[in-house]
Amino acid sequence: ERIAADGQVVEGLSAVNEAMLTGEAEPVEKAVGSRVIAGAVNAEGALRVRVDKSGDETYLSQVIRLVTEAQESKSRSQDLANRAAFWLTMISLTVGITTFAVWTSLRDGVFALERAITVMVITCPHALGLAVPLVVAVSTAIAAGRGLLIRNRIAFERARALQVVIFDKTGTLTEGRFGIQAAVGYDGAASDEVIALAAAVEGDSEHPIARGIVDDAQARDLAIPQATAFRALPGRGAQAQVDGRLVQVVSERYLQELGASLPGAEDAPAVPTTRATQGTPVPHAAAGGAGAEASEGAGHIVAAAGGAYDPAQTAIDAPDAGSPLVAPGRTVVHVVDDGRLIGSIALSDVIRAGSRHAISELQSRGLQVMMLTGDGEQTAAWVASELGLDEYFAGVLPEDKAGLVRRIRDRGQTVAMVGDGVNDAPALAEADVGIAIGAGTDVAVETADVVLVRSDPQAVSDLLTLSQATWRKMVQNLIWATAYNAIGIPLAAGVLAGYGVIVSPALGAVIMSLSTVIVAVNARLLRI
């Protein structure tokens, strides 16, 4: 159920999904005294909230207000471009009127009128006026065919000079959903059995971790038994009756409350709970190649942490007790069957299949690639290492994202921001080029300069290529149109009439048409 207003929890315990607002993939536990935000989704338990902000005072409304302010600041550059176009038109008209006035004083009115008409024919419509619009029309069509929806042409043209690309993590570099990265069975239980039982319990839950378990179990074509008497355990997990047995999928903390412990726990590291740090974001240089990969040992890990995870192609063995499931970026849950711990499952946010290649290609162009996330240091470091990012910022509060983008721009660098959530909207508006993932929220899409329909980070590289190719075509057309006008207008005005060189209105029409055809053909040759 979606929370309707900002407030403070006065009763109850639950996990709340704030991914749309804060960018944190894992639901945040809410207890008495915790604050909740309008627009977040209550995943399981019941909460009684004392409302202290509503309407325009809510966090969501503040985000929308920041977006509006940033967009208004951009419109000034658009007004400047419009004024330049107006003065160009005035100059063209002035040349025609001046030509008529000068020749009227030197020759007869008919000759003066012919010269003025020839000038107007050559200059209106003229190649200079069509040089950019024709390229714009062609590039827009190409962009649409490549899954790029351009909402702001000025920002799109600015993309050719980008120096820094900043990605939001959740929903952009990652899919914003949990996937099983490793599983282990204890006391002879097969890991497939552990996953199937967990999926049976979680089948009626809307918790993101529950959905991740169920989706992976279905992708593996596991036989999921029927469950009854489902009950959510707010902040702890869930339980249900499966074939007459009480099966629970619970957190490490609840496991300790039950008095149970992991087999081989004396040798295994403690299972941490992943939470985003709430403080001033600190930039980190990402270490390359140090992915959190589980090793073989007492147990057999089913998959390395990170990467484009395909559950259908990841084999699962039945590991021994004490298998090392813990790695940065993972959340571990445990499966208890009638009071007996039978296995553990490690999940993490799934990295998009094209993220690695997209980042590598951007870096090969000489761009710096960075990441912003509300997640904690461990999770951010893991994703940055897996993807080979140049720099990352962990624990970034939603209201700080726009300020961080502004600080990077203040270095004198041209910045693109790629995001998908409400919390990314101010940063998208603040960046030189705001790019929204098409599967993102309406606020993010409405704020962005360019929308990626395919929700594929690889499309950012396509955007840069198209922007650079479009700019080259514009320059080529402008050079031709300027040269044409620089030569054609004086000839039409009769500057060489004393040498017998006179351009008639009919010849002027032919020259004008030819120049327009050349510009149009050159625009149609735009390719990426």
SS3 content of the chain, % helix, strand, coil (to 5): 45, 20, 35
Could you tell me if 182 and 239 lie in one domain?
yes
How many structural domains does the chain have? 4
Q: Residue 441's pLDDT is what?
A: 58
Record the tokens describing residue 485, joined without a space: 């006008």
Could you tell me if 369 and 417 lie in one domain?
yes
Record the tokens describing residue 437, joined without a space: 């993932």
Q: For residue 424, what are the domain limits?
A: 148-173+352-453
What DSSP string runs through 373-421? -SS-HHHHHHHHHHHT-SEEEES--GGGHHHHHHHHHHTT--EEEEE-S
Model pLDDT for residues 401-416, shown as the tens digit of each residue? 889 999 999 999 999 9
Model pLDDT for residues 257-266, shown as the tens digit of each residue? 776 666 654 4
Model pLDDT for residues 170-206, shown as the tens digit of each residue? 878 888 788 888 898 888 889 899 999 999 999 888 7
Could you tell me if 332 and 398 lie in one domain?
no
156 versus 319: the higher-pLDDT residue is: 156
Could you tell me if 228 and 163 lie in one domain?
no
**Is 295's pLDDT higher than 50?**
no
> Is residue 202 in some structural domain?
yes
Q: Residue 68's pLDDT is what?
A: 56
**Is 286's pLDDT higher than 90?**
no
313 versus 468: the higher-pLDDT residue is: 468
**Is 272's pLDDT higher than 60?**
no
Q: What is the mean pLDDT of residues 243-272?
A: 66
pLDDT interval class at 77 (50, 70, 90): very low
What is the rounded CA–CA span in Å between residue 176 and residue 170?
5
Model pLDDT for residues 135-144, shown as the tens digit of each residue? 888 888 888 7
Q: Exposed/middle/buried for 339, CB within 10 Å: 0-12, 13-18, 19+?
A: exposed
Helices 59-106 and 458-493: crossing angle in degrees, nearest 10, is 20
What is the rounded CA–CA span in Å between residue 301 and residue 424?
35
Model pLDDT for residues 360-377, shown as the tens digit of each residue? 999 999 999 999 888 778
H helices present in 41-163, as ranges: 59-106, 109-123, 127-145, 153-158
CATH (domain of 41) = 2.70.150.10
Task: Determine phi and psi for 416, rounding to 5 degrees.
Answer: -110, 140
Could you tell me if 187 and 41 lie in one domain?
no
> Is residue 306 in some structural domain?
no
> Is residue 45 in some structural domain?
yes
Q: Name the amino acid, one letter, at 381.
A: A
Could you tell me if 253 and 112 lie in one domain?
no
Could you tell me if 247 and 189 lie in one domain?
yes
> Is residue 272 in some structural domain?
no
Could you tell me if 207 and 335 lie in one domain?
yes
Could you tell me if 361 and 422 lie in one domain?
yes
**Is 310's pLDDT higher than 70?**
no
**Annotation says 168 is catalytic:** yes
**Is 339's pLDDT higher than 50?**
yes
Could you tell me if 380 and 429 lie in one domain?
yes
379 versus 76: the higher-pLDDT residue is: 379
Asked if residue 170 lies in contact with residue 421, where contact means CB atoms within 8 angstroms, the answer is yes
Q: What is the mean pLDDT of residues 149-165?
A: 87
Could you tell me if 253 and 343 lie in one domain?
yes
**Is 125's pLDDT higher than 70?**
no
> Is residue 293 in some structural domain?
no
Considering only CA atoms, give the Rg of the chain: 31
CATH (domain of 196) = 3.40.1110.10
Q: Exposed/middle/buried for 259, CB within 10 Å: 0-12, 13-18, 19+?
A: exposed
Helix, strand or coil for residue 522? helix
Q: Residue 311's pLDDT is what?
A: 39
Task: Determine phi and psi for 21, rounding to 5 degrees.
Answer: -100, -40
> Is residue 291 in some structural domain?
no
**Is 23's pLDDT higher than 60?**
no
Could you tell me if 399 and 499 lie in one domain?
no
Pick from 406, 423, 453: which residue ends a domain? 453
HEC secondary structure over 173-214: HEEEEEEEEEEEECCCCCHHHHHHHHHHHHCCCCCHHHHHHH
> Is residue 460 in some structural domain?
no
Pick the catalytic residue: 168, 390, 432, 456? 168
Model pLDDT for residues 25-58, shown as the tens digit of each residue? 567 778 888 888 787 888 767 888 888 888 777 7
> Is residue 320 in some structural domain?
no
